[in-house]
Structure formats: C-alpha cells, structure tokens
C-alpha cells in the first residue's frame, strides 16, 4: 500500500535538454525532506513533451538516486496501449515499484475500452498499476463501476484520483475495498480526501515544499489534527498558486526563484505571465520559502 506524501517530480531542462545532474539533486532533496515516495515522468514531469528515450532515461535517473529507499511510481501511460505496455515494461526493468497509467487522452474510449486498455497492460507486464483518472486533461472519467472491475486484476492496485470529487474516494473505498490504494491528485483537497478514505497525495506542491507536505501526512497518520490543520492552512495559498496556470509552469517558476533549477519549459508550454509570477512569488514568501 502506497501512502503519505508522494512528489510528482518536475523535469528540469537546460538548453533544451534534460538537466540530469539537477534532476538527481531534486530527487535527493526529496529523500532528505522525508518524502514518502516519488513519481517521475508524470504530467508535472512534462512527459508529453519527452521523447521515449528521454522518458525512460528520467525514470532510470530517479531510481538510481532512490536506491529502493522509498517507492517510485513511474509515469508509464499513453493513449496508445502498445506504447503504454512498452513504458510499463521499461519501468519494471528499471526497478520501479509501480507504473502510473493515465486514462487514454484524445481517443475518448468507452468504459469498455478502458477495461480493455488497462487489462492489456496488466496482462503484459507483471508490475503494479496505479490508474490515473484525470478528466480535466483526458476528457473521459473512469466510473467507479469500471474501477471495481479493473480492481479484480492482481496487477491493478489503486488510483491517482484527480477528479476533485470528494465523494469519489468514499464511493471507491466502499466499492473496491480499503486495500485499493487511493492517492489524491489535487493538493488543495488532500485533507478531505484522506477523511473520505484516501491514503495519500501525489503532489505538485511537494516539489517546492516537501517537508511540510510530508509532515502533514505524518500528522494525519498520527491523529494529530491540530498540526494537520495548521500545515494545511499554511499551504493552501501555495497550492492555489501552483495551479494559476497550466502545471508545471508555476511550480517551475517557483523552483527557479528558490534556486532549485532553471524555469525552462518545453513547448507548447510557455513561461507564465507576470501576474502569475507575482502570485507565485507572494505565495512562496507567505509560506516562508523565500528569504
């Protein structure tokens, strides 16, 4: 069971190429901060803009640093089933603990198509799958009924839920059972998500604030609601700022301000606007993350 604070890692670039040294430094920073797990090459890692070789290399770089100390859930999804199988197979060979497989975007498969897609991947590669349900980017929404059907497969173990529907984790827990892992994909709603049966969060904000994110989850598991409330309130403006434009634009700018990496994005993503930069900078200062 995955639980706690997982970081959806950004992928730093330098002069158009993956900045490998900086990337591994960012992974080490997560380890030092007490993060419970990391997720390379997901949406926040700009996976749609990476070549296959880059995608696989970034997964390997992450696993090389982690060395089994915390779980690695590698992004392996695609809107082409064969490509997802290829990436899932690579993740297994590289030593990932699971693959994060997004619902196919653009194709708009039916619920039967979703069952066929995930079953094909799960049958082809003996590596746990976390379903990534994000209707805001993929258009389609996997139903709870479909998730129940897929949960019967031994290799399909949970979901990253980015629906922002706070009834969904309770419905999923009642339908799929408490052992079906549920990780939030929405930083700002993580506390009610946990209260409704969730187990953790795959976080954008944890790129820049890994310690408080990890501390919030540790406090939740310890039943320390006073600390949960305090940290949650302090982080909310930061969560909001990280999504003032398409992610990972804001979090990359925040990382640049903090001196963690350059802010370079890959087209079609572009630098965030001046008003968004002000919002991000104010949120960092408010959270005590800048001088």
- Using left for φ > 0, alpha for ψ between -120 and 50, and beta otherwise, residue 203 falls in beta
- Alpha-carbon distance 166 to 145, whole Å? 17
User: Residue 71 — φ and ψ, nearest 5°?
Assistant: -70, 145
The two three-digit tokens of residue 138, written as one number: 């993929």
**Active site positions, annotated:** 132, 160
Q: Residue 178 class from Cβ within 10 Å (0-12 exposed, 13-18 middle, 19+ buried)? A: exposed
Which of 156, 90, 92 minimizes the C-alpha distance to 129? Answer: 156
Q: With beta carbons less than 8 A apart as the criterion, state whether 283 and 238 touch.
A: yes
Q: Distance (Å, rounded) from C-alpha 157 to C-alpha 161?
A: 13
């Amino acid at each position: 069971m995955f639980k706690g604070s997982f970081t959806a890692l950004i992928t730093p670039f330098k002069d158009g190429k993956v900045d490998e040294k900086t990337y591994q430094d960012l992974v080490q920073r997560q380890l030092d901060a007490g993060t419970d797990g990391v997720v390379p090459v997901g949406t926040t890692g700009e996976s749609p803009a990476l070549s296959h070789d880059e995608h696989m290399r970034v997964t390997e770089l992450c696993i090389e640093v982690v060395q089994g100390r915390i779980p690695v859930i590698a992004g392996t999804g695609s809107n082409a089933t064969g490509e997802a199988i290829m990436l899932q197979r690579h993740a297994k060979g590289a030593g990932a603990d699971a693959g994060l497989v997004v619902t196919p975007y653009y194709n708009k498969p039916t619920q039967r198509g979703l069952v066929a897609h995930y079953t094909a991947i799960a049958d082809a590669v003996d590596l746990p799958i976390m379903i990534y349900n994000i209707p805001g980017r993929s258009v389609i929404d996997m139903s709870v009924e479909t998730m129940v059907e897929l949960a019967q497969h031994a290799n399909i173990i949970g979901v990253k839920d980015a629906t922002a529907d706070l009834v969904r984790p309770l419905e999923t827990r009642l339908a799929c059972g408490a052992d079906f892992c549920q990780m939030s994909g929405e930083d700002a709603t993580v506390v009610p998500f946990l209260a409704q049966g969730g187990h953790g969060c795959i976080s954008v904000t944890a790129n820049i604030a890994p310690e408080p994110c990890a501390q919030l989850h540790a406090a939740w598991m310890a039943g320390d609601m006073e600390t949960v409330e305090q940290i949650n309130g302090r982080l909310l403006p930061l969560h909001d700022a990280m999504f003032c434009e398409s992610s990972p634009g804001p979090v990359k700018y925040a990382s640049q301000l903090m001196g963690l990496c350059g802010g370079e994005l890959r087209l079609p993503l572009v630098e965030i606007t001046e008003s968004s930069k002000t919002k991000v900078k104010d949120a960092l200062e408010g959270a005590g993350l800048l001088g």
